[in-house]
Amino acid sequence: MATTSQVYRSTRSSDKETKTFEEVVIQGLAKDGGLFIPPTIPQVSQETLFSKWSKLSFQELAFEIMRLYIDSNEIPDADLKQLINRSYSTFRSTEVTPLVKNVTGNNENLHILELFHGPTYAFKDVALQFVGNLFEYFLQRTNASLPESEKKQITVVGATSGDTGSAAIYGLRGKKDVSVFILYPTGRISPIQEEQMTTVPDKNVQTLSVKGTFDNCQDIVKAIFADKDFNKRHNVGAVNSINWARILAQMTYYFYSYFKAIEGKDQSAVKVKFVVPSGNFGDILAGYFAKKMGLPVEKLVIATNENDILDRFLKSGDYERSDEVAATLSPAMDILISSNFERLLWYLARENLAGNDDLKAGEIVNGWFHELKSNGKFQVGQAVIDGALKDFASERVSDEETAATIKKIYEESVNPKKYVLDPHTAVGVCASKRLIAADNNASINYISLSTAHPAKFAEAVNNALSSFEGYSFEKDVLPEELKKLSTLPKKLKFIEKADIELVKAAIDEELAKMDL
């Protein structure tokens, strides 16, 4: 396939400066505070989709997609293939992201896309396994041409409330010239979450258990990023949800699952809707790119919990942050602002307000986010909402409905029987069920994304299911591999006060010991 020479720009810039893929991955966030995007979205013909791509393995498909976004001068074919194969060799399923078809027996065409077969049992592995290898690849290449004394190392620092730290750790463990420090609030994450993070023995990984709250941890990480001196010494980096490579890696499963869902059916006679449990909008944004590339998706449905900024936006055009985050049964979606949403806004502004002018789109988005900063909200107007509604719909799901959905699917499922949803997946499945009832159209297939294994959210799952006779978490839900974690030695450093100086001193001390 011919490669385009792909360049990237910031969602907020009104100048012509562009970046390469490598710069975008290593830098993460643009200097003007914006996010990196490819101004033109590569197009794939229906012919290529249905006579070629539909027959490919997950890895082969990943290669075809990524090739369109990464110039082959930056990563040659052979290297890109190797990066992809290495990244997905850690998954427990040969299909990487298998589709469980027709979970319920009611002719609903409800399919569950299992994204949790990676090392940490959650969907973020699909992206972070790849990003970890990419970091290492770029660093090694840069260092190969530098004298020993000037070799570059990256110190990744992050905070977690429990759900996402392990995916970053498993993505970066054992990687050359990269170290990773993850802060979490002592006693405020679940035992299984703590075990997943602290039992990784690689010397470049260190967890820091900080006496305080998640907000304390996050504030410390922000302060570390702002500390020029510390940054200069350690080259501090992040692998957070706005990194473009994460979005790119997530596109593959939209294509892959689409082809699985329509297998054996007349493609022109079926419609496909994706339903995506959303927080920072990274997962569903990958679906938007897939659709814009040419995958004939009918709708992308945003499913939110009670933290519903996205649902409110689609209904009113107001993008407005609440004062407080609501703590729900689906904590990985408990957000005030959806960081990746800015990328969609850029394309919407460009198409609907800027007459397809890149520079003007950047000015508009910049204006909106300045308003958000000073007033806590902005309003985009009807043209932009109408634009968004061509591709998206949204549903908000309460905790009660989430628990009821876990129960309902456990009772109703036939393929396999007694299927157990995690609470994030249940938010999506509840939204899917609503659509199935409202659409009442047997030609529509619903692909509901499953973002975590139920064992990771034991409390919510057990509360929903413990009243069923014969239900056992240990027997029916908990995988052997996770059971074993509690027997492994833990590696963590306790920080007895939420204080930036203590954390910096701990990182200094541990980095010296790591001797990378």
Ligand X SMILES: *Cc1c(COP(=O)(O)O)cnc(C)c1O
Catalytic residue numbers? 124
- 187 burial class (0-12, 13-18, 19+ CB within 10 angstroms)? exposed
Contact in structure between 120 and 196 (CB atoms under 8 Å): yes
Residue 193 or 413: the one with the smaller Cβ distance to ligand X is: 193
Task: State the CB neighbour count (10 A cutoff) for residue 175.
Answer: 23
Distance CA 363, CA 359 (A): 7
* Closer residue to ligand X in complex, CB, 212/282: 282
Rg (alpha carbons) of the chain, rounded to whole number: 22
Structure tokens at 160: 């977690």
- Shortest distance, CB of residue 206 to ligand X, whole angstroms? 22
- Give Dmax over CA atoms of the chain in angstroms: 66
Is residue 49 within 8 A of residue 294, CB to CB? The reply is: yes
Separation of alpha carbons 154 and 237, rounded Å: 6
Q: Which token pair is 307?
A: 């933290």
Pairing, β 444-450 against β 271-277 = parallel
Rounded to 5 degrees, φ, ψ at 205 are -115, 130
When the beta carbons of 286 and 348 are compared against ligand X, the nearer one is 286
CB of 333 to ligand X, least distance (A): 5
Q: In angstroms, what is the minimal distance from the CB of 173 to ligand X?
A: 18
Minimum CB distance to ligand X smaller for 13 or for 241: 241
List contacts with ligand X (CB under 6 A). 122-124, 163-164, 241, 277-283, 332-333, 424, 451-452
- Identify the residue whose tokens are 């405020």: 188
To the nearest whole angstrom, how small is the minimum distance from the Cβ of residue 269 to ligand X? 31
Question: Which residues have CB under 8 Å from 366's CB, separation 6+?
Answer: 12, 13, 14, 32, 34
Question: Which residue, 3 or 218, is less far from ligand X as judged by CB?
Answer: 218
CB of 98 to ligand X, least distance (A): 17
- Shortest distance in whole angstroms from residue 277 CB to ligand X: 5
- Give rounded-to-5 percent helix, strand, coil for the chain: 50, 15, 35
Taking the least distance from each CB to ligand X, the nearer of 123 and 368 is 123
Residues in the chain: 516
Smallest distance from ligand X to CB 487, Å: 25
Task: Determine the Cα–Cα distance for residues 343 and 5; give it in Å rounded to an integer.
Answer: 21
Convert 111-148 to b/e letters by CB count within 10 Å (16 or more is b).
bbbbbbbbbbbbbbbbbbbbbbbbbbbbbeeebeeeee
Q: Residue 273 or residue 456: which is nearer to ligand X going by CB?
A: 456
